A and B are shown apart, each in its own frame.
Chain A
Amino acid sequence: GQNIDQPTEMTATEGAIVQINCTYQTSGFNGLFWYQQHAGEAPTFLSYNVLDGLEEKGRFSSFLSRSKGYSYLLLKELQMKDSASYLCAVPYGGATNKLIFGTGTLLAVQP
């Protein structure tokens, strides 16, 4: 079956680094997405990983290990505006545009 696990909440300090983990089970891997969602707003796309390894985009990086069914989002130089939920999502089994989302990790950045 399909399943995604993320921690429910995390707290970090402004200027620090935080790693948000995501583990998944899927039949037929076809990439993994990370989205950011501020309270009451729409999710916005952060990254898409389909190959193993780390992809860096400014302060945000995303890592994937397909053999371990594991990904993480790394946020550096944390800012107060990074306080948001971070959603991990994978396509349903096979090449499909249907996504299954994790419950999201609510990150609180403190001064």
Chain B
Amino acid sequence: DGGITQSPKYLFRKEGQNVTLSCEQNLNHDAMYWYRQDPGQGLRLIYYSQIVNDFQKGDIAEGYSVSREKKESFPLTVTSAQKNPTAFYLCASSQIVRTRTDTQYFGPGTRLTVL
């Protein structure tokens, strides 16, 4: 089955520790995205990548880092510099179509709680 997987579903970390969230897709999509969702707020873009070995900051990139070494994978590291890391993190992917915006498909999400 084609899709996007994120692991783990729930993650607990102590304050001050870095943590890496996994995102893998087998849809052969060029673009991948990381969003953060907090209660009562819309999805906010953290980072996105349109091609291997290249990525751009979104609206709230501070305290996060990413890599895109393979087309299928786009891991997100939440560093100790992120002031409020507890949130629901969603990974998405899409094709890149030059003439329009293509649909983004989401993984199941990782709920990170920092204690």
Contact = CB atoms under 8 A, between A and B. Distances in A.
Interface of A: 4, 8, 30-31, 33, 40-45, 48, 50, 87, 89, 91, 95-104
Nearest to B48: A98
B31 interface: yes
A99 B99 CA distance: 16
A31 B109 contact: no
Contacts, number: 62
B42 A103 contact: yes
B2 interface: no
Interface of B: 31, 35, 40-45, 48, 50, 58, 88, 90, 94, 96, 98-109, 111
Contacts of A48: 103
B100 A31 contact: yes
B43 A87 contact: yes
Nearest to A104: B42
Contacts of A95: 98-101
B102 A97 contact: yes
Q: Closest 10 interchain pairs by CB?
A: A101-B42, A42-B106, A91-B101, A101-B43, A103-B42, A30-B101, A43-B106, A42-B108, A45-B103, A97-B31
A6 B101 CA distance: 21
A6 B54 CA distance: 34
B105 A45 contact: yes
8 contacts: A40-B88, A41-B109, A96-B101, A99-B43, A99-B45, A99-B104, A102-B42, A103-B41
